[in-house]
Amino acid sequence: MNIPQIVCHTTLATTLISGNRLTIRVALFSVHPVKYSPLNFCVAFSFGLLLLCRAKQTEMKKILYTLLACATTSLAFAQTTDIEKIEDRYKQRFGLKAGYNWSYVTGSKEGFNPSNHSGFMVSAFYAPTSRTGKGFRSEIVFSRQGYSFDNGGKNTDVMNDYIYLPQLVTFGIGRFFQLQAGAQIGVLLNSKMSGAKDSTITGLMNRIDYGFAAGVELNPVKGFLIGGRYNLGLGKLYKQYETTTSNPGSYPLPFNPETTNLKNGVVQFFVGYRF
């Protein structure tokens, strides 16, 4: 990568010495944005020292001292500025985002046709910047998602709270657009069904979910982001139900978990900020 640096060029014009009178036609200090070259600096610095050693007049020495000091200070400032730019380019980036979940489950049977349900998500993420456009992102996401179904003419909602840990590969396209794809694993925190006397059904469900995630993200202004993502679950939602002495009743949901094989599906829309 070419790193623009500020290299100082000091040009001393013809010096005329006539008797005890010293006349300096031009002492010009100019700054130009060029590639940094240690060789250029060494040559310029050595040339300045040579002139300084050969200068006999006090006035001439003062001018050369000033020029050398300016050149050295400017080069040091330029070097520091570019190091700061490089460090900022590779700075570790953390961010927060929140948004809307449009969730559903796959799988159905005759008499049981689940529909989508609305929820929300909040997330914190770590995503270091990359000069190549390729990178990665680690997230921790709280996601409320679920589905609805008709339970004897009454609409019933099942809401599940998960913590997901997506690990994504990112591909930047230009400065404002990014593609994301990867895998995730989730842990079920809680599951409730509306309208039931005992609304908690967490014990019926598998606590671990896993699957794939892919999405897009836009960065219209520095720090601010908007995007969308699709999460495809591959793990079964419900355990195999067994009637026992302590649990003699029938299955509390109107389907057989062995035959319906329900799995999660979520579409997310979010906004956020990267620090």
CB burial of 57-95 (b: ≥16 within 10 Å; e: otherwise) equals: eeebeebbeebbeebeeebeebeeeeeeeeeeeeeeeeb
DSSP 3-state percent helix, strand, coil across the chain (nearest 5): 20, 50, 30
Where do the domains of the chain lie, and which CATH numbers do they carry? 4-89 (no CATH), 94-274 (2.40.160.20)
pLDDT at 208 over 70: yes
DSSP 8-state class, residue 119: E
pLDDT higher for 139 or 204? 139
Q: Please check whether residue 90 is in contact with residue 267, taking contact to mean a CB–CB distance below 8 angstroms.
A: no
Residue 167 has pLDDT above 60, yes or no: yes
- CA Rg, the chain, in Å? 34
Which residue type, as a one-letter code, is found at position 13? A
Structure tokens at 158: 């099942």
Q: Of residues 60 and 104, which shows the higher confidence score?
A: 104
Residues 2-35 have pLDDT tens digits of: 444 433 343 333 333 333 333 333 333 334 444 4
Q: Is the pTM of this model over 0.75?
A: no
The answer to whether residue 128 scores a pLDDT higher than 90 is no
Give yes or no for residue 172 having a pLDDT over 70: yes
Confidence grade of residue 255 (pLDDT, cut at 50, 70, 90):
confident
Q: Which residues of 14-29 are buried (b: 16+ CB within 10 A; e: fewer)?
A: eeeeeeeebeeeeeee
How far apart CA 39 and CA 51 sit, in angstroms, is 18
